[in-house]
Chain A
Amino acid sequence: MSDVQSVAADILKVLEPQARSSFAGLVRDVETHVLPSMAMIAQSLATVGAQRVAGTISEELASLEIDGLRDAAASVIVGFANTTLQQVQAVLNAVLAAVAASVNRLVGIALLP
Chain B
Amino acid sequence: MRSPTQAPTHALTRAPLVACIRALAGLAVLAAGCSVQLVPPYDAQIAEEASSLQKDFYVFVGTMQTEAATPAGYYGEHVKDYVEFEARLAALRSAAEGQPGGVPCPLGANQTAGLAPAVRQQLQGGSATCIAVLAQIAERQMERLRQAHEIACKPLGAGSLGRPDPQCQALFGDPPLYRTISGQPSSAPLVTAVSISLNELAQAERSLKPASGS
Please report A residues at the B interface, Cβ cutoff 8 Å: 1, 3-4, 7-8, 11, 37, 39-41, 43-48, 51, 56-58, 60-61, 64-65, 67-79, 81-83, 85-86, 88-89, 92-93, 96-97, 100, 103, 107-109, 111-113
Q: Are B16 and A75 in contact (CB under 8 A)?
A: no
Cα A107 to Cα B203 in complex, Å, equals: 41
B148 in the interface (beta carbon within 8 A):
yes
B119 close to A (CB within 8 Å) = yes
Interface-forming stretch among B62-70, B83-91, B186-194?
B186-194
Give A102 Cβ to nearest chain B Cβ, in Å.
Answer: 12
B18/A48 in contact, CB under 8 A:
no
Shortest Cβ distance from A51 into chain B, in angstroms?
6
12 A-B pairs with CB atoms under 8 Å apart are A3-B13, A44-B186, A47-B187, A51-B170, A61-B171, A64-B147, A68-B141, A68-B190, A78-B105, A78-B130, A85-B130, A92-B36
How many Å from the CB of B52 to the closest CB on chain A? 18
Cβ contact within 8 Å between A79 and B200:
yes
A109 touches B28 (CB 8 A): no
Say if the beta carbon of B55 comes within 8 Å of chain A: no
Determine the chain A residues whose CB is within 8 A of the CB of B111 once the complex forms: 77, 81
In this complex, how many residues of chain B approach chain A with their Cβ under 8 Å: the count is: 70
Whether the pair A88, B38 counts as a contact (CB closer than 8 A) is: yes
A4 touches B14 (CB 8 A): yes
With beta carbons under 8 angstroms apart, the residue of B16, B116, B129, B197 that contacts A4 is: B16
Q: Is the CB of B167 within 8 A of A4?
A: no
Binds A, one of B73-81, B131-139, B154-162: B131-139
The 4 A-B residue pairs with the shortest CB-CB distance, nearest first, are: A82-B130, A108-B8, A68-B193, A79-B200
Task: Kindly state whether residue B213 has any CB partner on chain A within 8 Å.
Answer: no
User: Complex formed: what's the CA distance from A58 to B165 in Å?
Assistant: 11
